[in-house]
Amino acid sequence: MQKRTVHDIDVNLKTVLVRVDFNVEMYDGGIADDSRIKASIPTIKYLQEHNAKVVLCSHLGRPGGKVVESLRMKPIATHLATLLDQDVIYVDDIDIDDINAKVRLMDPGDVLMLENLRFNTGEESNDPDFCKAIGSLADVFVQDGFGVSHRAHASTEGITRFLPSVAGLLVDKEIDILTQLTESPENPLVLILGGAKISDKIGVIENFLDKVDTLLIGGGMAGTFLKAQGFDIGNSMVEDDKLPLAATLMSKASQNGIKLIIPKDVVVAKFFGPDAERLTVDIDNIPSEWYIMDIGHKTLDMFKSEVSTAKTVLWNGPMGVFEFKHFSKGTVELAATLGSLKGVTTVLGGGSTAEAVDSLGIADRITHVSTGGGATLEFLEGKELPGIMALLDK
């Protein structure tokens, strides 16, 4: 997929509208994780260095088309100003005429942050009038919000009908790395899948069945695979309607010569909670009414061994309930192992997996940590993302 980028368009003395994904986790008015903000700074600085007026737009949370005070962009604009070491103009107004007046007063290199796009119902409905209105703010549109590129919203897809539209540096990097993974990965390729549901990962598994050498299954979704093999999994989460699918996927993997490994032992808890009584048991000895909360040490050792022989590792989804300290070992130690590998391309598929790596402080030792959650999954499934497809081709 070859899309034009900020390198392929003249932005000198132009006003550039940049769609970023600053939908960050907040707490008490503060920012819990600013990795998404930092990810777009190279694009912002590139535009500044090329004498552009930079107008940033994003959403935050789900305000449902109305103003929600706790979801204003002001804390993010303030934090961005610290990261850029310069003032960031914040507009708490959603009136386009007022915003246009402020944009006209900007100097080249200035940065302006618009208010939460989803305060306007036209954003999620991709309303043509709203698309035209936000398009009137700029000369060029830059898509740098990979995490929202799978949505056909006004600021991701509709805007491209009104402005020449190109990829930012972050989106260009995401496209490049994920395309290489899906089209020409260096083998052996190990795919690690976790998280709650097999239904969330079906498309990824099916798209990689002709590319992957080893498939490792952990997290809540492992329960469905275990039950499909006839194991009693206690009160653990299971998608009963996906049991035939799990059996089919295991059969296809075997037919394709893929090594598919599910847990041999698990950490179980008497109830679902951070301080629950816990045991590590083999999968044929899970107590009735207990819950699978993490992979066990034997499984973890197997997973570590498999990734150590890989040339490429793709990981999406935690190995257990890593938010609870007592059930985080599988996710934490596997992440640490990936961070220690040399000469291996390691790619993490965003979401909870990225949170785990960020919390360990080893993101800089991973080849690429995707900023997308659903967008990354859809890309890896082979789907076209509206916010990417609408950009100008090379």
Per mean pLDDT, which range of 57-61, 85-89, 370-374 is the poorest?
370-374
Residue 205 in this model has a pLDDT that exceeds 80: yes
Cα angle: 161, vertex 162, 166; to 5 degrees = 75
- Give mean pLDDT, residues 385-390: 97
Q: Which residue, among 167, 163, 138, has the nearest Cα to 52 in the 3D structure?
A: 138
Percent of the chain residues past pLDDT 70, beyond the cut: 99
116 or 360, which is more confident: 116
The catalytically annotated residue of 61, 109, 273, 374 is: 374
To the query of whether residue 374 is one of the catalytic residues in this protein, the response is: yes
Mean pLDDT throughout 131-158? 97
Place of tokens 């914040």: 90
Least confident of 106-120, 139-153, 292-306, 346-360: 346-360
User: String of b and e for 262-294 (b: at least 16 CB within 10 Å)?
Assistant: bbbbbbbbeeeeeebebeebebeebeeebbbbb
Tokens of 311: 């040339």
Catalytic residue among 4, 197, 278, 311: 197
Paired tokens of 18? 């940049």
What is the arithmetic mean of pLDDT over 82-96? Answer: 93
173 as an active site residue: the answer is no
**Domains of the chain, first to last:** 6-171 (3.40.50.1260), 185-380 (3.40.50.1260)
What is the band of 54 on the pLDDT scale with cuts at 50, 70, 90?
very high
- Encode 334-369: b = buried (16+ Cβ within 10 Å), e = exposed: bbebbbebeebbbbbbbbbbbbbbbeeebbeebebb
From the candidates 220, 223, 349, 351, give the one annotated as an active-site residue: 351
Compute the average pLDDT of residues 244-255: 94
Q: What is the pLDDT, as a whole number, of residue 350?
A: 67
| pLDDT, mean of residues 15-24 | 97
Question: 333-372: per-residue pLDDT in tens?
Answer: 999 999 999 999 999 986 677 777 777 778 888 999 999 8
**How far apart (Å, rounded) are the C-alpha atoms in residues 170 and 372?**
11
Whole-number Å distance between alpha carbons of 308 and 58 = 39
CA distances from residue 96 to 87, 90, 172, 312 in whole angstroms, order as listed: 22, 14, 29, 47
Distance CA 239, CA 67 (A): 38
pLDDT at residue 207 in the model: 92
Residues of the chain with pLDDT > 90: what percent? 87
Q: 314, 181 in Cβ contact below 8 A?
A: yes
3, 19, 36, 53: which is the annotated catalytic residue?
36
| pTM tops 0.85 | yes
36: annotated active-site residue: yes
